[in-house]
Structure 1
Amino acid sequence: MGTITKPRLGFWQIWNMNVGFLGIQYSFGLQQTAINPIFLFLGASEEMLPILNIAGPVTGLIVQPIIGAVSDKTWSPKWGRRKPFFLIGAIMGSLCLFAFPLSPALWFAVGLLWILDVGNNMAMEPYRAFVGDKLPDSQLNIGYQMQSLFVGAGILLANASIFLFQSWFGGGEETTGSIPTWLYNSFFIGSFLSIATILWSVLKTPEIPPSDEELKEINEHKGLPFIERFKMPFREIGAAVKEMPKFMWKLSGVYLFQWYALFVYWQFITPLFRATMGFDTSEAAAQAAKMSTTYNIVTAVVALILVPLTVKFGGKKIYALSLVGTGLALFAIPNISDPVMVLFPMILFGIGWAAMMGIPYSMVSKIVPQERRGVYMGILNMMIVIPMGIQTLSFGPIFKNLLGANSINAMFFAGTCFIIAAVLAMRLNVKKDA
């Protein structure tokens, strides 16, 4: 397969290319911090939270690898290869975010979460591949750590908006079955950012045309009957899994424990503060937003600092150490009852989040073929959503029967998962496993 020599890009070119992640991650920030409280406001029990979040794993498992495989076989001189997909995804996400706080009932909010996740997943996977498409190997570290910066910034803005609007416009008694109006503006801002930031990157960053060999393959694909084109993404995914580098199989073990733990944290941080600090749901949601704001400030600050560190010490060591730090943070949080002091463990969490959002993508992008980068980034996302799916199906019974329906124990459980992930991360060797 022919390759194209990619020019090195300047700092601001890499910046503009990644701006769209701000809007995508603002949406994910609301999912992490605001959507579970909305489910509680609308009458869901804590035990129901894992299964109500099943939309994320299911849509991620189906949408991202398929969109990745389809985008690998797409090219338009006007629209490009990846851009059409994350633009459509951003429009879907924008509409859902606008409607979310207006949900009249729990079933409606759960349905919107499914559509929102489809939109976010449609935007996310081609965007990961888009960065890999544009950058030479020597700039992949800074490209994906720049994504980490915008991941942190987007989630930071989402969560800062939650506790600021709660402080400015909150108050009054909570009413089961209704969403407080102070939450509305956070979602309306997200609706705007979702489309505006994606448009910025689309308009500012041209895609690299495919090589002659790639273009020939794409045109041959277009000439196939519809049923064959429909089957092709599934065949591509199956073939890519069969030929997947050993490194990615080892990474899947790390991801199993890492993402299981993250989903536990996001679902149970609000119930935790109801238990440890005696907060009502609004106060606990605001405190959870402050936690997320803190760790995403750290992420935005340290994301680019990790680039020279990974070059000097290796991505494996920095990644594993960051996972240990995240686990220690989760062990500490349930033991702190002061709303200010409990923010300090988020420094370790933020460093870990920066590493998680950048280092694995950089490592994988270096070892997979250019012409199959889309499908492999989709498979990498499958390694995220499968643990999330396992968590949504399994953690409700674990929480109830093994952890005593105690959110403190849930947080300790998540911390233990991070330590296991760190041990497994020490097995990641890009050159040997590729």
Structure 2
Amino acid sequence: MQPAKPRLTFAQIINMNVGFFGIQYSFGLQQSAVNPIYDFLGASPHEIPLLNLAGPVTGLIVQPIIGALSDKTWHPRFGRRKPYFFIGAMLCSLALFLYPFSSALWMAVGLLWILDVGNNTAMEPYRAFIADKLNDDQRPTGFQTQSFFTGLGQTLANVSLFVFPIFFLGKTGAIPNWVFASFFLGAICSVGTIWWSMRTTPEIPPTEDELRHMRSSPLNLFSSSIEIGRAIGSMPKVMWQLGLVYLFQW
């Protein structure tokens, strides 16, 4: 039987989810600002879908692998999910900071792959973080707060693309200066909000049974891939139906 988890105040739930704002701000820039940069760098319209393959491919590969790996991770100092938050946030911030300096199309495409890997690395364990920290009766509040920060991050990222050109004029090479401002702000938000959530929200140590289960199977890419395959094979019918819906939604 799982021991009861400490109840969190609403402020603690907010602090726990602040990092999701940075992740979604980064996603918002990726979805809205990358194509204009491709255009500035001379990409043809028919090349855009191919140049954006990073999104679906990394989501398909990175999310399940990182989710499986984080389930089997525990370090007394660094925790279970936090190492993945930190690595993902650092990759996002690095890619966002460098993106406006792209001098060629291949550089922008490469940084997009790094950015998307970072976003997915940070985002997938964040969903499990809610289940780790909250009891059943508080989880709806946790996920609703996460959804709020999803909308806020995406909205402000898109608003910045409208507002910043008013204040940041001129160009640096082929890239307008407002792009630098938007991406620099995204880099700060990504690492800053994740840092805040990590600092204010301790993780709950696993039980002895959970630790025993973690130690019984090795932490590596191969074992995680096998576990993912088994999970897919044992999914109930309703999950397959939901998967079909999400396939066509995306």
TM over 0.5: yes
Q: Give the Cα separation in 1 of the matches to 2:23 and 2:48.
A: 23
Q: 1:95 to 1:171 in 2, by over 3 A?
A: closer
Residue of structure 2 equivalent to 1:184: 180
Residue of structure 2 equivalent to 1:204: 200
In the alignment, is the contact (CA less than 8 A) between 2:65 and 2:221 conserved in 1? no
Q: Give the Cα separation in 2 of the matches to 1:91 and 1:150.
A: 20
Q: What's the CA shift string for 1:268-308, capped at 9, x where partnerless?
A: xxxxxxxxxxxxxxxxxxxxxxxxxxxxxxxxxxxxxxxxx
Q: Give the Cα separation in 1 of the matches to 2:75 and 2:187.
A: 27
Give the CA deviation at 1:160.
1.9
Letter in 2 for 1:125: E
Give the CA deviation at 1:37.
0.8
Aligned pairs (5 A) from 1:225-236: 229-236=220-227
Residue of structure 2 equivalent to 1:82: 81
Q: Give the Cα separation in 1 of the matches to 2:150 and 2:85.
A: 16
Q: What's the CA shift string for 1:372-426, capped at 9, x where partnerless?
A: xxxxxxxxxxxxxxxxxxxxxxxxxxxxxxxxxxxxxxxxxxxxxxxxxxxxxxx
Q: Give the Cα separation in 1 of the matches to 2:153 and 2:54.
A: 21
Residue of structure 2 equivalent to 1:416: none
Residue of structure 1 equivalent to 2:30: 31
Deviates more, 1:75-84 or 1:161-170: 161-170
Q: Give the Cα separation in 2 of the matches to 1:126 and 1:56.
A: 18
Letter in 1 for 2:234: E
The alignment status of 1:246 with 2:246, answered yes or no, reads no
Aligned pairs (5 A) from 1:33-72: 33-72=32-71
Q: 1:78 to 1:39 in 2, by over 3 A?
A: same
The alignment status of 1:103 with 2:102, answered yes or no, reads yes
Q: 1:247 to 1:10 in 2, by over 3 A?
A: farther
Give the CA deviation at 1:85.
0.6
Residue of structure 2 equivalent to 1:332: none
What's the RMSD between the two structures over aligned residues?
A: 1.8
Higher relative contact order (CA 8 A, sep 6+): 2
TM-score by length of structure 1 reads: 0.55
Give the CA deviation at 1:257.
2.1
Aligned pairs (5 A) from 1:70-219: 70-170=69-169, 178-219=174-215
Residue of structure 2 equivalent to 1:267: none
Q: Give the Cα separation in 2 of the matches to 1:169 and 1:203.
A: 33
Q: Give the Cα separation in 2 of the matches to 1:126 and 1:4.
A: 21
Q: Please state whether the residue corresponding to 2:187 is helix, strand or coil.
A: helix
Give the number of equivalent residue pairs.
Answer: 250
Q: Give the Cα separation in 2 of the matches to 1:4 and 1:39.
A: 52
Q: Give the Cα separation in 1 of the matches to 2:73 and 2:30.
A: 30
Give the CA deviation at 1:56.
1.2
Q: Please state whether the residue corresponding to 2:4 is helix, strand or coil.
A: coil
Q: What's the CA shift string for 1:149-181, capped at 9, x where partnerless?
A: 111111222222221111122468xx9x82212
Q: 1:91 to 1:178 in 2, by over 3 A?
A: same
Give the CA deviation at 1:141.
1.6
Q: Please state whether the residue corresponding to 2:138 is helix, strand or coil.
A: helix
Higher-Rg structure is 1
Letter in 2 for 1:9: L
Q: Give the Cα separation in 1 of the matches to 2:13 and 2:244.
A: 31
